[in-house]
Amino acid sequence: MAKETFEFQAETKQLLDLMVHSIYTNHEIFLRELISNASDAIDKLHYESLTNRDILEGDTAFEIHLTPDAHTLTISDNGLGMNKEDLVQNLGTIAKSGTKAFLEKLKEAQDSDSTDKDLIGQFGVGFYSAFMVADTVTVVTRKAGEKQAYKWESSGDGTYSLEECEKPKHGTTIILHLGKDFYGDKSEENYTDQMTISGLVKKYSDYIRYPITMDYVTKEKPKDADGKTIEDAPEEEKVETRTLNSMQPLWTRNKSDIKPEEYKDFFKHQFYEWEDPMEIFHTKAEGAVEYTALLFIPGSAPFNLYYTDYEAGLQLYSRHVFIMDKCKDLLPDYLRFVKGLVDSPDLSLNISRELLQQSRELKLIGRNLEKNILKTLARTLEKDRAKYEKFWAEYGKSLKIGVYSGMMTGENNVDKLKDLLLFMSSKDGKLCTLKEYVGRMKDGQQKIYFATGKDRAAIDAMPQMELLRDRDLEVLYMLDPVDEFAVQAIGEYDGKKFHSISQGDLDLDDDEYKEEKKKAEDLAKSNEDLLKDIKEVIGDKVADVRLSNRLKSGAVCLVADAAGPSIAMEQAFAAANNPMLKARRILEINPNHDLFGRLQTLHAAGKDSQDFKDYCKLLYDQALLLEGILPDDPAAFANKVAQMMAK
């Protein structure tokens, strides 16, 4: 095959451009990225070799070797290597959907001068970081089990070349032809200096499970047959290969010997994070199943946590040997934000990943970990409210989704999670637990009142809120569409039912309310015709028109029938392109409002008059607006209001 030239994919080009022009100042992490890729490639080969020993070609001493030279730094591994298709696929395109977001973030970071954040690692564009320090990158690689080797080369401009070549050993060798600022004694960042390189390995790659080696040339006088130095002989050069990393996986060490900084560093390097974790769990268990787990709750939720491209899951190891990344079957989906790893001698390396994921041991470990995490969260909620609220701000949504999605999957997440939920309260504008709400309920109060809306102000302005405020009844604000789903899944807490103030009968428990309700019912009877005729004018848009006893100073409001979704839920479904679930809307009119008297007069003058009809339609549109929904025909609404104002 003659040398071929290929164009990089547009996004790769953009990324390379950013790398070449070094907008990212923390150049040194390129080494960590390349070592990490080499280690991944060895992991892959090792995994393959468990079922196909021949693939190793007799080379069982896994190693990542670093060779600095005058102007180059070479990183070699004896991992899986790449064939032609792999090269084009992996080093010519960026298949990851996160890359676009990465580019945006990188620009943002550049604008805000916060380039210290480890964005490159976070978004996994590792290989291309080589172009921060190298003018040209050459990759010589041969896939284990295949004969043909290839040379890939690029100068970080728009193209790369590919040609066939010879490579006796399988694996990948990456030669960085360093830029002039990155070699030589005069350089501040000399990546050919052995001290610098070994320092970087210690700093970033100490945990890598395979030896990272470098040859050191030492000069020594020769020794005689008795092992004594021959003093007058000239010095001889000796090459000594040293391993630069300690290779001991952090999680295998004793908890008491590990410093918080070591955990944090490990977390960042292993999981490509740039922020300290907010919680660390390090547990060792023996008994029915033996395992060590090192789990983390990241400092903040990733931007795509709730999108389908987010890949949840823990890393799996067996006796410190990597089995797989992103194993989803350990933790329930509502803990999708937890990162970490599990190392267990009880997990068999020799069965397929599919079978492994269904294994009894894995399920047992998963259940234990889930319990552990929930226990820690409950303890944090009790002992360190500020910390818990920070957790809640990042991951609360995930737990709320867990509460109701459990209904679909048949898991009872409600009991597990209901005491970990927080809702904003009308009492003090602060977050409260359901236990706290119930604990401070007024004497005789039977229900947990909640209201749905887009923000606090919208709920506070709801006409129904006035009655509850007057009675000093606490209302929980449901500001996120998932809140209401969660509440529906819970149903009741401590024997107290949830009750939406914007749905069904307000149904307050005090005598005053009951008396007013009775009055309203009598009034409704005597105005039966009026209500029927209003309904007739508005038509099918509402299921019913009633007199309200939930309104104090407001004239109208729209409520949903108790059976069925609320109006907020209907809107959430509509926003998610699922207009199937419709609330049964009920228009409620305040009989104590002057407007009601006017309606009665207009109706008495003739139910077919244009004025009566206009009033009815405007009433409905107003009620819609109060729910934050636009009238069906905003122009007609505005025209009618204008006409009335002009009268």
Ligand X SMILES: Nc1ncnc2c1ncn2[C@@H]1O[C@H](COP(=O)(O)OP(=O)(O)OP(=O)(O)O)[C@@H](O)[C@H]1O
List residues near ligand X by CB under 6 A.
33, 37-38, 41, 77, 79-82, 90-91, 124-128, 172, 272
CB of 116 to ligand X, least distance (A): 19
Shortest distance, position 263 Cβ to ligand X, whole Å? 21
**Least gap, CB of 358 to ligand X (angstroms):** 27
Q: Which residues contact 99 (CB under 8 A, 6 or more apart)?
A: 11, 15, 123, 125
Instruction: Please give the sequence-ordered ranges of beta strands (E in DSSP) within 278-380, or none if there are none.
Output: 279-285, 291-297, 314-318, 321-327, 339-343
Cβ-Cβ contacts under 8 Å for 192 (sequence gap 6 or more): 68, 69, 70, 71, 72, 73, 178, 183, 184
CB of 78 to ligand X, least distance (A): 10
Name the minimum Å distance from CB 38 to ligand X.
Answer: 4
Q: Are strands 314-318 and 339-343 parallel, antiparallel or unpaired?
A: parallel
Whether the CA torsion 97, 101, 102, 103 is positive or negative: it is: positive
Nearer of residues 88 and 285 to ligand X, judged by Cβ: 88
Residue type at 8?
F
Which residue from 265, 339, 326 is spatially nearest to 300, judged by alpha carbons?
A: 339
Q: How many angstroms separate the CA atoms of 501 and 459, rounded?
A: 10
Integer Cα distance of 530 and 544 in angstroms:
12
Nearer to ligand X, 80 or 556 (CB): 80
Nearer to ligand X, 165 or 407 (CB): 165
Q: Which is nearer to ligand X, 323 or 599 (CB)?
A: 323
Q: Looking at beta carbons only, is 87 or 619 nearer to ligand X?
A: 87
> Looking up tokens 């954040």, which residue turns up?
117
Nearer to ligand X by Cβ, of 43 and 474: the residue is 43
Residue 24 vs 127, nearer CB to ligand X? 127
For residue 166, the minimal CB distance to ligand X (Å) is 18
Shortest Cβ distance from residue 252 to ligand X (Å)? 23
Cα radius of gyration (the chain) = 34
The CB-of-151 to ligand X minimum distance in angstroms stands at 14
Of 177 and 607, the one with the shorter C-beta distance to ligand X is: 177
Element (H, E) at 524: helix 511-526
Min. distance of Cβ 194 from ligand X in angstroms? Answer: 22
Closest CA to 101 of 80, 124, 84: 124
Distance between CA 578 and CA 580 in Å, rounded?
5
Of the pair 128, 207, the CB lying nearest ligand X is at 128
Collapse the DSSP code of 154 into the 3-class scheme (helix H, G, I; strand E, B; otherwise coil) and give the result. strand
CB 207 within 8 A of CB 253: no
Residue with Cβ nearer ligand X (137 or 583): 137
- The amino acid sitting at 81 is G
Q: Of all helices (H) and strands (E), which one includes residue 514? A: helix 511-526
Q: Which residue is nearest to ligand X (CB)?
A: 124
Closest distance of CB 37 from ligand X, Å? 3
The CA distances from residue 610 to 104, 168, 618, in Å, are: 57, 93, 12
Q: Which residues contact 513 (CB under 8 A, 6 or more apart)?
A: 467, 471, 506, 549
Task: Tokens for 95, please give them.
Answer: 């298949």
Rounded Cα distance, 9 and 12, in Å: 5
Nearer to ligand X, 19 or 542 (CB): 19
Single out the residue of 588, 644, 592, 594 nearest to residue 619, CA to CA.
588
Q: Cβ of residue 108: shortest distance to ligand X, in angstroms?
A: 20
H helices present in 170-312, as ranges: 194-205, 260-271
